[in-house]
Amino acid sequence: MNSDPHIGFALELVHADILARYHSFLGDDVFFNTGTDEHGLKIYRKAQEEKKDTQAYVDEYAAKFRDLKTMLNLSPNLHFVRTTDIYHKVAAQELWRRCDKAGDIYKKKYKGLYCVGDEAFVKETDLKGGKCPNHPTMEPMLIEEENYFFCLSAYQEKLLEYLAREDVIVPEWRRQEVIQFVKRGLEDFSISRIKEKMPWGVPVPGDESQIMYVWFDALTNYISTLGWPEDKDGLFKKFWEDGETLQLAGKDQVRFQSIMWQAMLMSAGLPATKRVVYHGFITSGGQKMSKSLGNVIDPVSIVDEYGTDALRFFLARHVHSFDDSDFTMERFKEAYNADLANGLGNQVARIMRLAEDNLTDSVAVSEEQKTMQPSFCALLDSYNYNAATDLIFEHIAKADAHIQEKKPFFLVKSAKAEEKEEGIKIIERLVGHLSMIATHLSTIMPETAEKIQKAILTNTMPETLFPRK
């Protein structure tokens, strides 16, 4: 956390929120967590560059990330964890103690190249032109010091057993990628830094001269947020031990989330994560986003101009669930006008105007129209947000085609009673269909869904949902 929230982070939060809302709709108890990783050399250096107290620096940025809850209309029960929180530090130290007790932590002198951007050691064979592929503008540091190490190599077979379950990583080809990586052999990794050189972090238990490696500390947030280790409220047992745990992460997190973290949990005698879903990167104009290139997409400015649901819609339908996707404002505006202004927004206005002008009472919505279709559920169960959103818009297209074919706007003006009655029935069916659309939209575009349902309940045409831009 050393920069403003970017569109990639917004993607991850929106995808997670769609799943949280979906499972809550189904009646599942959901614990939805996100937060900020606030330790590490990268953050410490940035705070020094700006001549700010490090805690004050992370407080400033944490507030910006916390504001995303409102800006992206995330679930009201979202829990926000900060790795500088006292309870998190306690949990990270306890995890260390348990791994140490298991005999998986030792101390040795080490020399290697370190990428500050990744907060990870890199091999020379992994470099491209002498630079880390993920941070080509950064020169890797040569670090030589005595640190603590975690015995990752001892967990190769256990990790392969864990990875043998087909649904443990989504998509499947990522799982195969991880399996092949583990099969090639695992190396122990450094889990501490000398405090004298890098004072910003969680102290190593029993050795105040060392600070925990940022990833050992940060990954613990998945369980610290649940109140582990004390678990006074029983959340850890309910959601981590007895529940279905799910982590969402970018493709650059694979080694951290599905290898290192799982081995740490195994070492500490804790259940492994049930499933990790990995998404791709968002590029802009075919290039990695960068301030120097001037192609960074700011989610805040999009929300300010187009609204929260417009951004949520685009991230769900037009950004691939698993692969890299290109995001340009030209593509966004085109989709906004075609799908939202001319599509969904126009349809809601047409149907509800017909209802307001021709129906005496609001339409009674059926239980079926309040229920999510199995085909839609199956798509969200497989994390296919694109196809799930496509399905909703197929229903929107069907309603438009039905209006054009049946022409209820003509029938209700007919002098023939039977034609007028038929026109009324068509409008009622269209309103019911619109309610079904809103039911499914509640996961992806909750604000819009609420406006549609309110319009149906009051039998009124709402204000323009998506003004053409």
282 in Cβ contact with 297 (< 8 Å): yes
Classify each residue of 358-393 as buried b or exposed e, where b means 16 or more C-beta atoms within 10 Å of its C-beta: bbeeebebeeebeebeeebbebbeebbbbebbebbb
pLDDT at res. 41: 74
Cβ neighbourhood burial of 145 (10 Å; 0-12, 13-18, 19+): middle
Residue 377: both structure tokens together: 């559920």
Count the neighbouring beta carbons within 10 Å of the beta carbon of residue 100. Answer: 18
pLDDT of residue 196: 85
Tell me the C-alpha distance between 373 and 396, whole Å. Answer: 15
Tens-place pLDDT, residues 231-254: 999 999 999 999 999 999 999 999
Q: 442 burial class (0-12, 13-18, 19+ CB within 10 angstroms)?
A: buried
Is the sign of the CA dihedral 449, 454, 457, 459 positive or negative?
negative
Length of the chain: 469
DSSP state of 283: E
The pLDDT assigned to 99 comes to 98
pTM score, whole prediction? 0.90
Contacts of 77 (CB under 8 A, 6+ apart): 30, 31, 32
- Closest by alpha carbon to 19, among 32, 37, 38, 7? 32
Q: Where are the beta strands (DSSP E) in 102-204?
A: 105-115, 120-122, 141-150, 169-170, 189-190, 192-194, 203-204
Relative orientation angle of helices 41-49 and 54-66, to the nearest 10 degrees = 110
- Give the separation between CA 450 and CA 438, rounded to whole angstroms: 7
What structural domains does the chain harbor? Answer: 7-279 (3.40.50.620), 287-458 (1.10.730.10)
Instruction: Give bridge partners of residue 211 from the DSSP assignment.
Output: 193, 203
Position 291 scores a pLDDT of: 62
Report cis status (omega within 30 of 0) of the bond before 299.
Answer: no
Q: Check residue 251 and report its DSSP letter.
A: G
> CA angle, 376 as apex, 372 and 378 as ends, to 5°?
115
**Residue 40 DSSP one-character state:** S
21 CA to centre of own chain: 13
Helix H or strand E encompassing 243: none
Query: What amino acid is encoded at 345 in this protein?
Result: G
| Residues of the chain below pLDDT 50 | 1-2
The pLDDT of residue 444 is: 98
- DSSP H or E stretch at residue 371: none
Asked whether the beta carbons of 58 and 38 are under 8 A apart, the reply is yes
Peptide bond into 133 cis (omega under 30): no
> Please, are residues 435 and 365 in contact by the beta-carbon 8 Å criterion?
yes
Q: What angle do CA 127, 129, 134 make, to 5 degrees?
A: 50
